[in-house]
Structure 1
Amino acid sequence: MLRSSGLACLVALLAPAATGCGAAADELYQAKAVVSGQGEERRALGFALCLKDVVAKVSGDARLTDDPRMAEPASKAASFVTGFSYRDRLSGKPLHDEQGSYDRPHDLTCDFDRHRIDALLETLGHRPWPEPRPRILLLVDIKDRQGKAFMLANDSADARDQDMSGALAAASERFALLFRLPAQALLAKAVVDEMVQGKADPADLERVANAAGAEKVVAGTLLWSDQALGWVSEWRLSVQGKSYRWQARGVGFDDAFRNVVSGAAQILSGNGQPADIVK
């Protein structure tokens, strides 16, 4: 159990240092996809990808992205769209000799009809996961390919750490679930080990989360494995006295952070235990 002195230190360190990432409430029915150019065929593909993502985001259940029942709605995704826009990912860079505007990569942003999405979810046996959604403090103990151990912090200047933080931010935006990382000062405290190892009392975890401006703590590990040919992640989250664990093996770190965010979303939205991912 966390000592009271340790908890006091956490309260002092977390409050000013925590940072967040996630989608705003008015973006809940909005999704983005990368498409090649602005042609009608590529736009239709982008609409379908965005529809699957927005259904997963609104419900909190990422499994709907690959649900076979989504094939038919995805084929007419344009009928759910109320507006869309493009952003050239190579803006400011001249066209190459072999690259015309047709295949130039763009971010396609789609806005969807709220009532039609809610009705679609009902046919799938789901319902919208209402706002406000809980804010989450993520504590992750990492061991990289070179064997270096560290914990991910919001104020690290290391390029690799920033890439990982960016992956977490992208996943948070995709699933509209606010995640926060701690400051390096917190990570020097021994009490963090108890959280990551799953030994901390759930009531203490809740107090630590509240001190960070969050409601929940997800703790876990991210280890490079030559045997798995990728990263191995394991995550823990306690909700209403029940402890959930899930993992991913042989994935890139982008997939590992999508896995922690989508898994937490699935649990907190009432959609049950996340499945493990093994590649």
Structure 2
Amino acid sequence: MVGLNRLATPSLSRAMARLLLCAALLVASMSAFAQRVEGDRAGAEGVYSAEITVNGQGAGERNAAFARGLAQVLGKLSGDSGAASQPGVRQELRRAAEYVDSYDYRQDEGVSASGAPSFRTALVVRYDEEAVDSLAATLGVAVWPQPRPKPVLWLAIDDGSGPRLVGLSRADAARSVLDRAIERGYRLGLPGGSAAEQAVVGAIWRGDTAAVARASRNYSPPMQLIGKLYRAEGGWQADWIFVDGGRVLSRWSESGRDARRVLATGANGAADALTKRYAKRAPAGPAGSYRVAFTGLDSSDDYMRLSGYLQGLSVVRGMTPLRASEGGVEFELDLVSGLPGFDRSIRGDSLLSAEGGDDTQPPRYRLR
């Protein structure tokens, strides 16, 4: 018997080791799985890609879609849904085709409300990363660095039958907030939804951020978007808290008749909090009026050529002639992002070259 036990011990140890290894792999995979929330349905992947619904494949429809797509990309790049309305951006949207790297069409088939087949045509556009980055730097659009964090969404919903946690198995219930996060340039993960995690509903409901953070320790990064959705005044209300590393960055509430729209506001608030903390602008001067001198003008044609060029720069909001001299002219330029932005906008062009300047003289540029 003793000999039998001695023979069995190594085998038992190996079995236990395999069991422990499997358990460790299971825990690791669950942590990763919680971050692999379906979200691919939300459209083109990547910050520099966009998907736009179109009514046809004609050039006019395509160019309009290029502009809408570039606005989407700038929104994802900065994390700011209002990036397209910043000074100078609208002018560049009219030239959006110049930023396109490649594009293709996709047609999706669905069913309309009447039960009849319906078709949706989407233009999937990939934009040139270097060109878009240069545009953002020139116009002073903030950039949210990559790779970006994937906060865990701890969401409880009470539709009248008591609050319940939205885990991976119920991801469709959180679809609008998951998709909105992708539109804002990042992703949200969901907890696995184990029995222990289901018990976190009470902490979510009372806004106990410390308890939720403890439940979220197996997930990375240590960021949580905590939300509760419930019926209120004939519609729905959502209360949100965004936590980064144990620190509450933001609290907000939204209400409305459409539960999906109310849910989507969670992704907006989290994006606003994240970009406020992490998005950075490239070094640029303040917007304002700057006196700038230009030389190398030998004729009225040169003056017209220079004026047309300056008016076409998105960084130039306005220009006023100040003084003309032999072979030169001075303008007061109203610049979106100061002289650094102006220098970026003409970099690589063949029309102007910088000649310098000092504290007593305005910067000079020579017309080639």
Q: SS of the counterpart of 1:62?
A: coil
Q: Is the alpha carbon distance of 1:271 and 1:243 closer, same or farther for their aligned partners in structure 2, counting shifts above 3 Å?
A: closer
Choose 182-191 or 29-38, whichever is displaced more: 182-191
Q: Give the structure-2-normalised TM-score.
A: 0.56
Question: Per-residue deviation at 1:206?
Answer: 4.5
Q: 1:178 aligns with which of 187, 207, 217?
A: 187
Tell me the amino acid that sits aligned with residue 255 of structure 1.
R
> Radius of gyration: which is bigger?
2
Question: Per-residue deviation at 1:129?
Answer: 1.4
8 Å contact from structure 2 (residues 209, 243) kept in 1 = no
Partner of 1:259: 265
Of structures 1 and 2, the one with the larger relative CO (CA 8 A, separation 6+) is 1
Question: Per-residue deviation at 1:150?
Answer: 2.6
8 Å contact from structure 1 (residues 135, 215) kept in 2 = no
Alignment of 1:205-216 (within 5 A): 205-216=212-223
Partner of 1:53: 72
How many angstroms apart in 1 are the aligned matches of 2:91 and 2:250?
Answer: 33
Tell me the amino acid that sits aligned with residue 142 of structure 1.
I
Question: Per-residue deviation at 1:58?
Answer: 0.9
Alignment of 1:142-153 (within 5 A): 142-144=157-159, 149-153=163-167
- Say whether residues 1:140 and 2:149 are aligned partners: no
Q: SS of the counterpart of 2:169?
A: coil
How many angstroms apart in 2 are the aligned matches of 1:82 and 1:63?
Answer: 24
How many angstroms apart in 2 are the aligned matches of 1:251 and 1:123?
Answer: 41
CA RMSD of aligned residues (A): 3.5
- Say whether residues 1:112 and 2:127 are aligned partners: yes
Q: SS of the counterpart of 1:233?
A: strand
8 Å contact from structure 1 (residues 81, 113) kept in 2 = yes
Q: Is the alpha carbon distance of 1:196 and 1:132 closer, same or farther for their aligned partners in structure 2, counting shifts above 3 Å?
A: farther
Q: 1:155 aligns with which of 139, 159, 169?
A: 169
- Say whether residues 1:35 and 2:54 are aligned partners: yes
Identify unmatched segments of 5+ residues in structure 1. 1-10, 94-98, 273-279
Question: Per-residue deviation at 1:211?
Answer: 0.3
How many angstroms apart in 1 are the aligned matches of 2:169 and 2:74?
Answer: 33
Identify unmatched segments of 5+ residues in structure 2. 1-26, 112-116, 279-368
Q: Kindly provide the CA deviation profile for residues 40-70 of structure 1, in whole angstroms up to 9, marking residues without a partner as x.
A: 2221222122111111111112232455753
Tell me the percent identity: 24
Q: Give the structure-1-normalised TM-score.
A: 0.72
8 Å contact from structure 1 (residues 141, 222) kept in 2 = yes
Q: 1:222 aligns with which of 215, 229, 233?
A: 229
8 Å contact from structure 1 (residues 235, 246) kept in 2 = yes
8 Å contact from structure 1 (residues 34, 107) kept in 2 = yes
Q: Kindly provide the CA deviation profile for residues 120-140 of structure 1, in whole angstroms up to 9, marking residues without a partner as x.
A: 223443332112211211111
How many angstroms apart in 2 are the aligned matches of 1:104 and 1:165?
Answer: 25
